[in-house]
Amino acid sequence: MVDTTQAAATAGGPTQHTQNQGALVPARTATGGSQALSLASMSPRDAFGFAQALSESSLLPRQYQKNPGSVLWALEFGRGLGLDVITTIQSVHIIQGKATMSADLMASLCRRAGHRMRVSGDETHAKVVIFRADDPEFPFEVTWSMDRARQAQLTGKDTWKQYPAAMLRARAISECVRMACPEVLHGAIYTPEERGAAIDEDGLPVDGSVSVTQVPASCPAAPQRPAPEPADNEADYSHPGGETRAAPLNTPANAGQAVQAVLDGLVGKAQGQWDDEPALANLLAQADERGVADMEVDGPNGQQPFRQILNDRITALAGQQQGAA
């Protein structure tokens, strides 16, 4: 049994948390408001029992029903974000084996981190602007229009026909948060809809179906050619343990020549700055600005979007720093 007796100093005074014979104990939410259940107050056995009980509820999203392992994983992910149980279950979804979160949750995490976000738009366009707390003079700006949605072959979906304003807003929020402050997402950098899930007006998955949309290439393809040889100082990258391995990134051979040159430069910089979290975050912002962040490159786990590789590495480095602390 875990000793969970704690005292938390809040504006309303100290709050006592106790556990008695495996009882589930309320824990104060991250906002300091009303109390809610948290894995932090449970033993591993209690946590799995709680997840098992939740998985029997018909009120849960379908991917969690009768699946206590997925419920427990999601709750632990939410705990790392400082979320209560209900918020996690309603806003974090596993699509094709990957964690996703709603655009509203992305916006909340962005603002909770101290960044300013402005959202505007209508049924024809949505505009999101984010000012980082550590760089308040520079605006990160993303606009999604119906023309852009048509180019991405999204407008044929039922939700886009019925709720264009909500869909444009969600796309603009998720893209802008990924560009301005990806660290708040902890690796869950896409919404369920961006991963191909059928969703409702609120961006929540309505069933287990997933569709894959073929998006036209953003640039003409060039003839196949070998990937460029990295410079001598970019061929390897070092790890905290001192070992040296082959660089994990290569740009695709079939990208347009102009885009290839941009990718070559950014990939080369990423290879040389693989253990520098702020530098990788800056590279991600540059890749977004130049329109190559979502192009696939050869990464440590095969072909992946450049954005995903950088975000995964940033998340890993952040975890190492937290562990060291």
Range(s) of the domain holding residue 301: 232-324
Q: What is the DSSP string of 8-74?
A: E--TT--EEE---TT---EEE-TTSSSEEE-GGGS-HHHHHHHHHHHHT-TTS-GGGTT-HHHHHHH
Has residue 298 got a pLDDT over 90?
A: no
Residue 252 lies in a domain: yes
Same domain, 112 and 20: no
Same domain, 107 and 206: yes
Q: What Rg do the C-alpha atoms of the chain give, in angstroms? A: 22
Residue 220 lies in a domain: no
Integer angstrom CA distances of residue 68 from 72, 101, 215: 6, 19, 35
Residue 222 lies in a domain: no
Same domain, 181 and 204: yes
Residue 155 exposure: Cα atoms within 13 Å on the Cβ side: 14
Same domain, 93 and 107: no
* Residue in 321, 308, 317 with CA at minimum distance from that of residue 178: 308
Same domain, 306 and 287: yes
Q: Residue 92 contacts by C-beta under 8 Å, 6 or more apart in sequence?
A: 74, 77, 78, 83, 99, 100, 101, 105, 188
Same domain, 241 and 303: yes
Same domain, 118 and 54: no
Quickly state the pLDDT bin for 324 (edges 50, 70, 90): low
pLDDT in tens, 94-132: 887 788 999 999 999 999 999 999 999 999 999 999 999
Residue 218 lies in a domain: no
- What is the domain count for the chain? 3
Residue 284 lies in a domain: yes
Residue 74 lies in a domain: yes
pLDDT of 123: 94
Which amino acid would we find at residue 58?
Answer: S
